[in-house]
Amino acid sequence: MGQQVVRDDEPRPCPIPTRARSTALSVDRVPRSVLNWVLAQFEPPIRVVRIRPLRGGPSDRGPWQITLSSVVRTQDVVLKTGPTDLDATRRTTHPVSIRASMATEVAALAVAENNRLPVPHLIAVDLDGLCGRIALLTTAVQGSPTSADDVGVRNLGELLPRIHAITVPSDPNLPGRVRAREGDNYVAFRARQREDIDRYRTGTRSEQQDLRDRVHDDHPEWAPQRVRRYLTVPATTPLIMRAEQVLSRLPCSTEPAGFVHDDIAPGNVIWTTSRGPVLIDWEGAGSGPAGLDLGNVRFELALRHGAHTADLVLEGWRRNGSVAVPDDLPYWDLSAALNTPVNLASWSSDPIATERRDHYLAHVLNRLGHADQYDLSSRSP
């Protein structure tokens, strides 16, 4: 979940001249060659006033909010970068190409702007890394990164059919999507772990060592203790197992695919007074079923504020009236909630995120008549 926000904290002076020196040094992890590239997109004279990271921890990919000042005005832009290595990836359950993700965002922003969706404006892109990194530069959205009130949530739901109604052009950078947050696949991850545990338990010592080596190759960041834990302790719960069984039997529509964002979550929405909800971080966009974004938004807001907000999203969708509520919405509700790790401590800063996810899963299962193994009343919403 990315965060591209405009914070209200005090600006920090950034001692960078009008044209940053082209050296290997960096300011706030932004290479000076990249800063020069940013400045080159605007009429001189222009200078960098400040640079602020827009994520909680340090990152050499950003995003950063950069404040620029010229004789005429001061403006904010948002910069993302990545390594020039074509094989560079980011990973959660499996690797995702950083360059491909950026190319997808470029293509998606073009489609979104052409169809008057509320998105940042693409200023410039360098997918060849001529400035020393691959780089993407957009306008900054002035608004609140915190979730809106009930009216704002309904407005977000009303926006979703507009997105889905867009015909996706034939573009390899806008592929078909089969789940929200396409870069993650925790359902498949857990299924493979169950198979690996069975093989490890029944394997010879040599076969066990081969399995440990393979898991380490798949996850080089894991310590040996975590590799052994993966091969001996299932990362699941009775509720998740029940929900995955139900998901495997639910129908999934083959309706014509429309435009999807793929990761509409509170961290990827800026709430504005003039434009309503503005969607950022289109790295996973493509084509997909209507329920994909709808189910994910419902889950993400329930995760943040409780299951009742999922109904507010649906009210907004119905208020739009241009696209019917998908018949297979229960599938997408479960799919979004299950595409998460068992323990959300590393996935969310909210200490009750795991509890809320479990409550949402039980809420959906109850509606489907499948919550017999889980006491919904034992959890707070």
Q: Which residues of 306-344 are buried (b: 16+ CB within 10 A; e: fewer)?
A: ebebbebbbebbeebeebeebebbbbbbbbbbbbbbbeb
> Any idea where the domains of the chain sit in the sequence?
26-139, 150-183+241-378, 186-234
Single pTM value for the model: 0.88
Strand partners, 272: 276
For the chain, percent of residues with pLDDT exceeding 90 = 72
Measure the CA–CA gap between 368 and 314, rounded to whole angstroms.
17
The 8-class DSSP code of residue 286 comes to E
pLDDT classification of 381: cutoffs 50, 70, 90: very low
The confidence score (pLDDT) of residue 28 equals 64
80: enclosing H helix or E strand: strand 74-82
Shared fold status for 26-139 and 150-183+241-378: no
Are 174 and 286 within 8 A, CB to CB?
A: yes
Residues 6 or more apart whose Cβ sits within 8 Å of residue 343: 354
pLDDT tens digit string along 112-142?
Answer: 999 999 999 999 999 999 999 999 999 999 9
pLDDT bucket at 94, cuts 50 / 70 / 90: confident
Least confident range from 67-71, 143-147, 304-308, 317-321: namely 143-147
Using CA atoms, how far apart are residues 380 and 268, in angstroms rounded to an integer?
26
Is residue 283 over pLDDT 70? Answer: yes
pLDDT band at 26 (very low <50, low <70, confident <90, very high): low
**322: pLDDT confidence band, cut at 50, 70 and 90?**
confident
CA distances from 217 to 200, 222, 311, 343, 372 (A): 16, 9, 43, 23, 40
Taking the C-alpha atoms of residue 1 and residue 358, their distance in angstroms, rounded to an integer, is 19
The CATH number corresponding to 26-139 among 3.40.50.300, 3.30.200.20, 3.30.930.10, 3.90.1580.10 equals 3.30.200.20
For residue 92, CA distances in Å to 1, 193, 209, 229, 341 come to: 12, 15, 24, 17, 10
Count other Cβ atoms within 10 Å, centred on residue 199. Answer: 14
Own/partner pairs for 341-344, CB < 8 Å, 24+ apart?
341/186, 341/235, 342/190, 342/235, 342/236, 342/237, 342/240
Instruction: Please report the pLDDT score of residue 23 as a whole number.
Output: 32
Residue with tokens 């440990």: 212
Grade residue 15 by pLDDT with cuts at 50, 70 and 90: very low
Residue 374 pLDDT greater than 80, yes or no: no
Q: Please state which CATH number belongs to domain 150-183+241-378.
A: 1.10.510.10
Question: Residue 1: is its pLDDT beyond 90?
Answer: no
